[in-house]
Amino acid sequence: MSLETGDRGSTPRGLMPFRSLMSFRSLMSFQSSRPFRSLMSFQSLMSLSAMGQGPSYEPANWLTGRLADCMGTRLVRYLAQCGVASRRGAADLVQRGLVRVNGQVTTNVACQVRPGDQVICDGKPLAAPSETRVLLLHKPAGAVCSLRDPHNPRTVLDCLPPEMRAGLKPVGRLDKQTTGLLLLTDDGDLAFRLTHPRYKIPKTYRATVEGEVSDEAVSRLSEGVLLEDGPTAPADIRRVRYDAPRGQTVLDLRIHEGRNRQVRRMCEAVGCGVRRLARTEYGPLGLGRLKPGEYRVLTPAEVRHLRSAVGIDG
């Protein structure tokens, strides 16, 4: 079989789409292994790589997906991704005989779960983890929305088990002392769109502010106030209650923007200093009964709803 080469005569043009996966030499070696032969012949791979010059074909991604399908996912990792428990907790469930794969009890923590397998844990069928992982965290005060911060060693990822953290990033930010609903995901496009004002994803905050808030202040907040980085968009403002003994008012503010410390600055612009601030809703999602520091994994239906809301199909 002849392979056309480029001007430098070193890299076969037909193999260029596979450069991100492996070198030509390692590919030649890898093709002789048994799992690879069971997947496809080397000659077929050469043909597909040549077809990969088209803009809509991605052989490297296709090959990675096919290999993943053949290998499966370790059972304890599968259970952790489903939000059942940490890997250590999942291993305990397996060893106690509480997990069935395709109707059979297994105590093998290294058991491989493949696409289409049915997994039941403690009598409850588990839905396969979605390709996009989204977690809803009740952020506690004192945790920062960064992956690493040398000045603030406690980050929101510290609220998650170590095996759940890989690839997750906060969707937007809450400042250090603000508590409440924070999403984390491994889907960069979803995170970007959820925070972009173009998609108008509403976010609701409960603010406890100093003094009694006047009708005029509520009207100004509703219509938009001028901040140093420009006027804010109109917002939905509701006065929840006035606590006269403590000299404070509780407000609910629903906004569609996501500027740095926006709610605090909006309140300060009308003369109301913020004593406490919590985000209670993000789009259709609420905190429910989660306590500070607790989290849950969104269901596949919830993830699909979020993706649809920001124009991502599938």
Note the pTM of the prediction, 2 decimals: 0.60
Do 301 and 182 belong together in one domain? yes
Q: Is 206 in the same domain as 275?
A: yes
The CA dihedral of 287, 288, 292, 295, to the nearest 10 degrees, is: -80
- Residues 141-170 have pLDDT tens digits of 999 998 877 777 899 999 999 988 888 989
Same domain, 183 and 305: yes
Rounded mean pLDDT, 217-246 = 95
Residues 6+ apart with CB under 8 A from 160: 135, 137, 168, 184, 295
| pLDDT value, residue 129 | 65
In-domain check, residue 157: yes
* Cβ neighbours around 228 below 10 Å, total: 6
- Same-domain check for residues 225 and 278: yes
Residues 66 and 77 in one domain: no
* Across 8-16, average pLDDT: 45
Can you give the three-state secondary structure of 82-116, one letter per residue? Answer: CCCCCHHHHHHHHHCCCEEECCEECCCCCCEECCC
Neighbours of 285 (CB within 10 A): 16
> Which of 59-73, 118-132, 156-170, 187-201 shows the lowest mean pLDDT across its residues?
59-73
In a domain, residue 88? The reply is yes
Helix (H) or strand (E) run with residue 182 in it = strand 179-185
**Where in the sequence numbering do the catalytic residues fall?**
175
185 contact partners, CB below 8 Å, separation of at least 6: 132, 133, 134, 135, 168, 169, 171, 191
Pairing of strands 179-185, 274-282: parallel
Same-domain check for residues 171 and 302: yes
169 and 302 part of one domain:
yes
Span of 3-17, 154-168, 196-210, 271-285 with lowest mean pLDDT: 3-17
Stretch among 130-134, 201-205, 212-216, 233-237 having the lowest mean pLDDT: 130-134
Q: Tokens 């609903």: give the residue.
A: 181
Range of the structural domain that residue 85 is part of: 73-125
CATH number, domain containing residue 224: 3.30.70.1560
Phi, psi of 13 (to 5 degrees): -60, -35
In a domain, 249, yes or no: yes
Q: Is residue 258 part of a domain?
A: yes
Asked if residue 248 belongs to a domain, the reply is yes
CB count in 10 Å sphere of residue 60: 15
If asked whether residues 172 and 294 sit together in one domain, one would say yes
Residues 157 and 291 in one domain: yes
Q: Are residues 292 and 192 in the same domain?
A: yes
What does the angle CA 67 – CA 68 – CA 69 come to, to the nearest 5 degrees?
90
Check whether residue 116 and residue 149 sit in a common domain.
Answer: no
Is residue 55 one of the residues assigned to a domain?
A: yes
Minimum mean pLDDT range among 39-43, 261-265, 275-279, 285-289: 39-43
Task: Answer yes or no: is pLDDT of 57 > 80.
Answer: no
Looking at the 3D structure of the chain, how many domains does it have?
Answer: 4
CA angle 205, 209, 211 (to 5 degrees): 150
Residue 7 domain flag: no
| 3-state secondary structure (DSSP) of residue 162 | helix
CATH number of the structural domain spanning residue 187: 3.30.70.580
For residue 116, tell me if it sits in a domain: yes
Three-state DSSP state, 208: strand
Based on the fold, state whether residues 60 and 172 are members of the same structural domain. no
CA–CA separation, 39 vs 32, rounded Å? Answer: 11
> pLDDT tens digits, residue range 184-220?
998 888 888 899 888 999 999 999 999 999 999 999 9
* CB distance 138 to 294 below 8 Å: yes
**What is the chain's Cα-based Rg?**
26
Residue 67's pLDDT is 52
